Structure 1
Amino acid sequence: MNLKTLTISIILGLGTAMSASAQVNFNYKDQSISLAQSPKTLAVYDLSVLDTLNALGVDAQLVPAASFSGDLNRYQQEKYIKAGTLFEPDTSVLQKSKPDLIIVGGRSASKADSLKAIAPILNLSPDTSNYLEDLKARTMTLANAYSKQKIAQEKLERVSQLQAELKKKTKGKSALMLFAVGENFMPHAENDRFGFVYDLAGFKSVLEPSEKSDAPRPTAGSPEALQAAANVKRLEKAVAQNPDYIIVLDRGAVNTQKYTAQDNILKHPALKNAKALQDKKVIYVNADAWYITGAGLNNTAFMLKEIMDAL
């Protein structure tokens, strides 16, 4: 082999190696997606994912039409293409925009199969039954694809520090998590939608864990939701155990900031005489953060600090 041929071979070999190194992989649970490079056009239909990307300094180009709050408010700008809703991605807009990757989760997860013909689909639905470990897994899945490992590790360490600080304050303390819809207050135990708060914050639940279920959540405020959750006897039994704290998520304040639970709890027959209410140990959490954004990287730090500040 002459020098010219050898040089060409080396160049071709380097080009192949560089091409292989540019490949990015998304691995989460049983999903494995390989792309030639980090997605340049990214569609995201889960606000916890948007929150994590925002924490990492990564932009999505296509997002649902939603009421973005806090740090995600910039997605209201027209430069971000609105392609459907959190529940219903707009396939015509997606087909026109040709995203390199579509990320679904939570509310949009059921639409994954209908989008596969448009682009690779990654389902990053949060698993709040294993909150912090799952947050780390979802965060690093995104961080590895965009070479954001350093900032991801720093922010994950901050979340772990906040949790440790909070658990020092909640050690030996009990709590009751309530989801308020109008005048109805629904107790959430471990394995219920917002039952993750006990393990995340370090509280002892005064409720027995609910059975785990993969069934779709009933619509908030529907007869099914109210009948399943507004069990007066269950609520009375929980209150009788005198939880040190009551945590309230007011569904009516989502996107409106109109909190009515503070007044309604004073009239509720099972709650108005609760010791935690008399002791002024009721924590009313930010409705948008807990109900809409959920288990994102920055938002988790916000939720932990919110409870810590309220104690």
Structure 2
Amino acid sequence: MTCNIKLRAWGLPVLLVVFAVLQGCDQKAIEATQEPLSLGGTQVESASYETVTVKHKLGTTVIDKLPQRVVALDMNDVDFLDQLGIPVAGMPKDFVPHFLSQYKEAPQVEDTGAIVAPNLERVHMAKPDLILITSLQAKYYKELSEIAPTIHFDVDYRNSETSHIEVIKEHLITLGQIFNKEKLAHKKAAELDARVAEAKRVTLSRPEKALIVLHNNGAFNSFGVRSRYGFVFNALGVMPASPVNEAGLHGQPVSSEFIRQANPDVIYIIDRTAVMEHRQPLNADTLSNPLLRQTTAWKNNRVIFADPEAWYITAASLNSMKLIINDVIKGYDQ
């Protein structure tokens, strides 16, 4: 701020007033030059920014300045940003999990359309300087990259048997580097490690075998070790009750008779219908399936109606992993 005042041969009182005005101008100029940028409720120094180069499955993305407007096209990335205190400029609002509900009606957050088919015009309207995507939006990578630097979260939704937790933590740390939030990102990663370790302590040496099934309008799909929920068996130590190992996003169709014959000690039910049709999830009273009621899991009150939004909409972020781990542990606490 610059203040110019022309002095004349005025009296002492007038000169004193002028001197005070000049002092005020100088002080405001100093404060203006010292004021740091604000991002997500924290003070971030703007004097310098160390370039971050991110290599991912779709290419290499270079971030050479601190992003101010971020569009996240997958709910997992919205959760990462929320955990790191980074404002969200745009996101799809068709399937927003309950733990991110504050963004659903937020007027300052641009609705970018559907998770699987983002509206590129709306993405552009959000004026992003960084875009975050997963495999669900991968086919739009070229167009999105023309709008702003775009980073692909390399999580495998079809087969999470190996490295699922590590991929989550790596992406978290990368975002921490981009937004100068490395310390917080490492703290959050350590918290996730602690929850995973807790789950392993619960499942360690336990003989119970579990089945993970997806409910879809009365039909069921089973998920084995090499599937979307493979990490439950591999990383969390749950023993599988089914030999079904086919990798896939939607699992292997199975009958109620198959579930009864597998006779699991624990059943985790993910109600896809509740998510897709925005209905109340199934519970023990509303699931009227006589064959499931004959299983050991049902008889011992170990049928866990999992959080469908954490398991189905996300399952690869900090909040969703904590909720999934809570559900897994419930299967052994009943």
With the length of structure 2 as denominator, give the TM-score of the two structures: 0.75
Q: CA deviation at 1:40?
A: 1.2
Partner SS, residue 146 of structure 2? coil
Q: Which amino acid aligns with 2:133?
A: V
Pair 28,143 (structure 1): closer, same or farther in 2 beyond 3 Å = farther
Q: CA deviation at 1:59?
A: 1.7
Quote the sequence identity (%): 24
Q: Distance in 2 between matches of 1:104 and 1:93?
A: 15
Q: Which amino acid aligns with 1:231?
A: V
Q: Distance in 2 between matches of 1:306 and 1:281?
A: 11
Match of 2:118 among 73, 89, 112: 89
Structure 1 residue aligned with 2:96: 68
Structure 2 residue aligned with 1:294: 315
Pair 211,230 (structure 1): closer, same or farther in 2 beyond 3 Å = closer
Structure 1 residue aligned with 2:300: 279
1:175 aligns with 2:210: yes
Structure 2 residue aligned with 1:267: 289
Q: Distance in 2 between matches of 1:201 and 1:253?
A: 26
For the 8 Å contact 1:28–1:138, the answer to whether it is kept is: no
Q: Distance in 2 between matches of 1:187 and 1:67?
A: 23
For the 8 Å contact 2:306–2:327, the answer to whether it is kept is: yes
Structure 1 residue aligned with 2:140: 111
Instruction: Return 5+ residue gaps in structure 1 as ranges.
Output: 1-17, 219-227
Pair 36,230 (structure 1): closer, same or farther in 2 beyond 3 Å = closer
Instruction: Return 5+ residue gaps in structure 2 as ranges.
Output: 1-45
Match of 2:254 among 221, 227, 231: 231
Q: Distance in 2 between matches of 1:93 and 1:187?
A: 37
Q: Distance in 1 between matches of 2:226 and 2:116?
A: 23
Q: Which amino acid aligns with 1:63?
A: M
Q: Distance in 2 between matches of 1:297 and 1:31?
A: 25
Q: Distance in 1 between matches of 2:272 and 2:123?
A: 31
Q: Which amino acid aligns with 2:170?
A: A
Pair 70,163 (structure 1): closer, same or farther in 2 beyond 3 Å = same
Q: CA deviation at 1:125?
A: 4.3
Spell out, residue by residue over 1:95-135, the C-alpha distance to the aligned partner (whole angstroms, 9 max, x if none): 34432121111432232233232222211142333211111
Q: Distance in 2 between matches of 1:152 and 1:37?
A: 19
Pair 69,309 (structure 1): closer, same or farther in 2 beyond 3 Å = same
Q: Distance in 2 between matches of 1:159 and 1:209?
A: 28
Q: Indicate the RMSD between aligned Cα atoms, in angstroms.
A: 2.6
Structure 1 residue aligned with 2:164: 131
How many residue pairs match? The answer is 279
Q: Distance in 1 between matches of 2:325 and 2:314?
A: 14
Q: Distance in 1 between matches of 2:83 and 2:49?
A: 25
For the 8 Å contact 2:195–2:322, the answer to whether it is kept is: yes
Structure 2 residue aligned with 1:40: 68
Q: Distance in 2 between matches of 1:175 and 1:287?
A: 17
Structure 2 residue aligned with 1:53: 81
For residues 200-239 of structure 1, what are the structure 2 equivalents within 5 Å? 200-212=235-247, 217=249, 229-232=252-255, 236=257, 239=260
Spell out, residue by residue over 1:123-149, the C-alpha distance to the aligned partner (whole angstroms, 9 max, x if none): 114233321111111111111111212
Match of 1:187 among 222, 230, 234: 222
Spell out, residue by residue over 1:21-57, the C-alpha distance to the aligned partner (whole angstroms, 9 max, x if none): 5323334456431122121121110101111111111
Q: CA deviation at 1:239?
A: 4.0
Q: Relative contact order: is structure 1 or structure 2 higher (C-alpha 8 Å, sep ≥ 6)?
A: 1
Q: Distance in 1 between matches of 2:286 and 2:218?
A: 6
For the 8 Å contact 1:186–1:229, the answer to whether it is kept is: yes
Q: Which amino acid aligns with 1:101?
A: L
For the 8 Å contact 2:73–2:112, the answer to whether it is kept is: no
Structure 2 residue aligned with 1:248: 269
- Larger gyration radius, structure 1 or structure 2: 2
Q: Distance in 2 between matches of 1:209 and 1:148?
A: 41
Which structure's residues are more often helix, by fraction? 1
Partner SS, residue 62 of structure 2? strand
